[in-house]
Chains A and B, each alone.
Chain A
Amino acid sequence: MVLLTSLLALSLMNGRQADGSLLSRVVPIPTGKNGYEDYLRAADMAGKQLWGSYENWLGYRQSVGSTGVRADEEVSVPPIPPGVNPDMSDLAVRKIANERLGGGAYEIIRVGNLKAVYDPRRDLSVETMFPEFAQFKMLAKIGINKAYVEFSEGRTDQAVGDLLEGLKFSRSIFGGTLISSLVSIGMQAIFLSEFQRHLGQLSYSDARLIDRTCKSLLDTPYPLVETYKREYSLAVNSVDHVIDNPSLVLEDEIEKAFGPAIQNLSEPDKHQLKGLVLQGLQSRYDALLQELNEPGSSLVRGRDPQDPPTALDDKSVSNLALAMLNALRSKSGNLQIHRAIARGKVQLMLLRLHAKVIQYHWQNYRWPTKIEEFADASSGIDPYSEQPFHYELKEGSYRLYSTGVPGFGPIELKYRPLPTPQDSGPVPPLL
């Protein structure tokens, strides 16, 4: 599965340089019924370069502001973004960026979220590019900037609404391909980090809305079976092309050893190689489907099957097929992907639980003393540890975290009320 991952990683970079409207490149004939088209339209509206100039400027200002700059220190000053005066506060810059980029794009995303969303590309091939993912991540950053401005103006309902639309947007692009799923999890983390910063600002109605939206997102199954099926189809359809161009998937050292041998195979040997690779892919796909039928916790506890090492001096067709199969399997392994998805799910569950704690506090004018007071079995149990999430009262506030997904350690969204200094505690936040 590394084939698609590598190609898409390349496409993420290409996305920064490609010209023309994303919508026209990805969906030549828009249907108006697919929310994905709206996301592409929003990305077109935001443009490719403008946000980067504001982001660089804000990053520069943060680094100068938080650490101070010594007289002898050379600081590379980025270009001043449009509409910005160097004396402006960060918030003023954020407002300008929001006026130019935020409002319209998020209205379009909101419309897209109301529709069915699917990857408009019917067929994938090794030549397929995915330039939109880089800009989708940019839209996530534009979204949290918009929310920051709204929070600063006391419009918490709008800020929460925008962040929740962002979470829906992130979730809608999950599936289709593994890389889009990982982009989806990454975008979700961006939105959750902004929620974490503003938990102390949430009103009762904000908390209720978050609770409802997170429940809806968590109740929607992650379409992993469909995603793997599509990945499998792509791999199967690409075998001929990969055999003809082994450098597309083989690492340098292996490509050096096997590349010429593969290209010089006779037609019958190539046919045999293709058969072996297809057989191996089918076997791996069957194993994956079996894994996906297991309970969630065992998916993240297992170990990736260890492929036999490739002997570089063995140029037999079966060994060449093994090398091709090893390369086509994800280097990071499905286990790591499952863990990333699991972590994303736990983070979303934690946000929902924070919303429940905050609702409880508003309703009762005190923090709950134990998790049973605000969560039921469906929301209070960590599906990966199969234990209740950890909740404790602490210095007039509370702490809530998951002992974590194996391989990632504890996961926490922190509630940080402003006036009370908090002990950082042993569990680091992962957001």
Chain B
Amino acid sequence: MFGTLALVISLTIQQPAQGLFERTFLESTGRNGMEEYVRAFDSMQKTEWSSYAGWMTVEDRALAQGKRVSGRFVDTPAPLSPQAKRLEILSYLKVRQEEVRVFQRAWDLVGDGNEKPCYLPSTMLPSTFPIVSIGRSISKLGRDFAYVAASDGRSDLMVDYLTRVLTFLDNSCRSSFMAALVSVSNQAAVCGDFADNLDRISMQDAVRIEKATSSLLSERPSFLEAFDAAFRNDAANVDRAIRSAANLAGGSSKDRTEQRMVRVMHGMSSADVEQMIGRVQKSILDTGLQFTSRFSSPEETWLSIYANSQEPRDPEIENQADAEELWTSHWTPPFVTNPMTVARVLICRAKLRLLRLHSEVILFRWNHNRLPRNVEELALPEGYAFDPVSKKPFVYEVKGKNYRLYSLGAKETGPIDLGSPLPSASDDADTNP
């Protein structure tokens, strides 16, 4: 205990303004990729990352007038810092070039983190961990590194950096459900960058893309680990909520659901509450196990898991059976009932498959100095051309000297191509859990 206290004091002395790392990790294990990601994030915050991420020209700022502009963050804090003032007169490329120089250390840390497994420390509540900021900031940093590399004619580095972002997203999204949600939208953005740069991809780049995408697609889908983590976290945290509700005695809460739970638990003894906590925790874990095990079936069946699953009972129903069922139902993560989460995951996986197919088309084009007439001419490994979302082959069309490659998609996804945006966040209730 004294040792821990001494460490905390020492950290406080060294860094009066604590970073996220100090607030999150009592000590560095050196075995958790999240430690490197958080270090990278801290290092970015200390170097006024927001000035770079929120960069706009003077003219754009005047035009935006505080509105959100596609592809850029315009919610830059006002008044502008001297650093932001200095940057706004530079071109987009100059700002990104300076960013590469300033944040090289942070970017290297992301590479180090990618070499390790990634998880949240047990002391950290997922709800208090700023995974959205970390995911968005590091993804943006990596994409900017890729932009500068491409502008220098280094397509090899561009591909390395974009695949590093994909690996970071895949790795970090295993840590929590929220991280998985963040990962999906950032993965789509990375695929969009690949779509913008297909022309730049050389033979060797295409081979590396094929390997990277195959590797990402062959592992157990990372979002399932996020689902597991969500059930585990819920099971771990439900006890505090139940005890808190039990102590409310009469219902001072303004939340209607909470009032109902307090009412149902009225009169329960402490022993009964403790026993119920154990049963609710087990029930949440069982539900999780049952739910994620359905995803061991082939990918093309994943959307139908929702069609066939029974709707959980609505806690609003007045004749709810008992407190235990009410708690279990209330603590079921939203993705269990909302197919849009899995639809977005499927879209991202389809994009990875499309990226792999693009790399095959590009390889063919370099080898033969023409586009393949059809997918068969690519002589693909088994399964490459099959699209689990539409349950049909991906569509490949040659149009003059160009081609189009896309998935017909499903009702929940619509058609998918490498650069298309994800369904808007408003379609996805899970983004605001």
- A-side residues, CB < 8 A to B, are 58, 61-62, 65-66, 68, 89-92, 94, 148, 151-157, 198, 200-206, 362-365, 416-422, 424
Contacts and interface: CB of A to CB of B under 8 A. Distances in A.
B403 to A, nearest CB: 7
Given A204-B93, A419-B419, A89 B367 contact: yes
Contact of B205 (A94, A154, A420): A154
22 contacts: A89-B367, A90-B368, A90-B369, A91-B369, A152-B203, A153-B204, A154-B203, A156-B153, A201-B199, A203-B152, A206-B153, A364-B92, A365-B93, A365-B147, A417-B199, A418-B362, A418-B402, A419-B198, A419-B358, A419-B402, A419-B418, A424-B400
Contacts of B195: 419
A355 B419 CA distance: 25
Interface in B395-433: 397, 399-405, 417-419
Nearest to A420: B402
Given A65-B370, A148-B369, A156-B155, A363 B93 contact: yes
Interface in B326-372: 358, 362, 366-370
Nearest to B417: A419
A419 B404 contact: yes
A422 B204 contact: no
B92 A365 contact: yes
B367 A201 contact: no
A163 B418 CA distance: 32
Dominant secondary structure of chain A at its interface with chain B: helix
Contacts of B199: 198, 200-201, 417-418
B202 A153 contact: yes
B263 interface: no
A200 B197 CA distance: 8
Contacts of A92: 367
A418 B198 contact: yes
A62 B156 contact: no
B152 A205 contact: yes
Nearest to B366: A152
Nearest to B93: A363
Contacts of B367: 89-92
Given A205-B152, A421-B402, A362 B93 contact: yes
B376 to A, nearest CB: 13
B83 interface: no
Nearest to B94: A363
B150 interface: yes
* Candidate in A65, A148, A198 with the most chain B CB atoms within 10 angstroms: A65
In the complex, the 4 A-B pairs of residues with the closest C-beta atoms, listed nearest first: A200-B199, A154-B202, A203-B153, A89-B367
A66 B401 CA distance: 12
B91 interface: yes
B202 A157 contact: no
Interface in B133-152: 147, 150-152
B151 A204 contact: yes
A154 B399 contact: no
Given A203-B151, A421-B404, A62 B370 contact: yes
Nearest to B372: A65
B101 to A, nearest CB: 16
Nearest to A199: B199
Contacts of A157: 153
B150 A203 contact: yes
Contacts of B202: 151-155
B61 interface: no
A154 B417 CA distance: 25
Nearest to A358: B151
B368 A416 contact: no
A200 B404 contact: no
Contacts of A420: 402
Given A62-B370, A154-B156, A416 B402 contact: yes
A58 B368 CA distance: 9
B148 to A, nearest CB: 9
B366 A91 contact: yes
A419 B151 CA distance: 19
Given A154-B200, A365-B93, A419-B404, 14 more contacts: A68-B373, A90-B369, A91-B366, A91-B367, A94-B369, A154-B203, A154-B204, A156-B200, A198-B199, A362-B93, A364-B91, A365-B92, A419-B402, A421-B400
A380 B88 CA distance: 28
B415 to A, nearest CB: 14
B404 A422 contact: no
B296 to A, nearest CB: 34
* Candidate in B155, B156, B362 with the most chain A CB atoms within 10 angstroms: B155
A363 B92 contact: yes
A86 B373 CA distance: 21
A66 B370 contact: yes
A421 B418 contact: no
Contact of A62 (B153, B369, B401, B419): B369
Contacts of A416: 401-402
Contacts of B156: 154
B31 to A, nearest CB: 35
A65 B370 CA distance: 8
Interface string B75-104: 000000000000000011110000000000
Contacts of A90: 367-369
A364 B91 CA distance: 6
A86 to B, nearest CB: 14
Contacts of A68: 373
A364 B373 CA distance: 36
Interface in B184-202: 195, 198-200, 202
A58 B92 CA distance: 43
A206 B154 CA distance: 11
Interface string B16-54: 000000000000000000000000000000000000000
A118 B241 CA distance: 90
B301 to A, nearest CB: 30
A61 B368 CA distance: 9
A92 B369 CA distance: 11
Nearest to A417: B199
A376 to B, nearest CB: 18
A202 B198 CA distance: 12
* Candidate in A153, A198, A418 with the most chain B CB atoms within 10 angstroms: A418
* Candidate in A65, A154, A364 with the most chain B CB atoms within 10 angstroms: A154
A29 to B, nearest CB: 43
Contacts of A200: 199-200
A419 B147 CA distance: 18
Contacts of A148: 369
A94 B205 CA distance: 19
A130 B197 CA distance: 45
Contacts of A201: 155, 199-200
Contacts of B153: 156-157, 202-206
* Candidate in B199, B401, B404 with the most chain A CB atoms within 10 angstroms: B199
Contacts of A58: 369
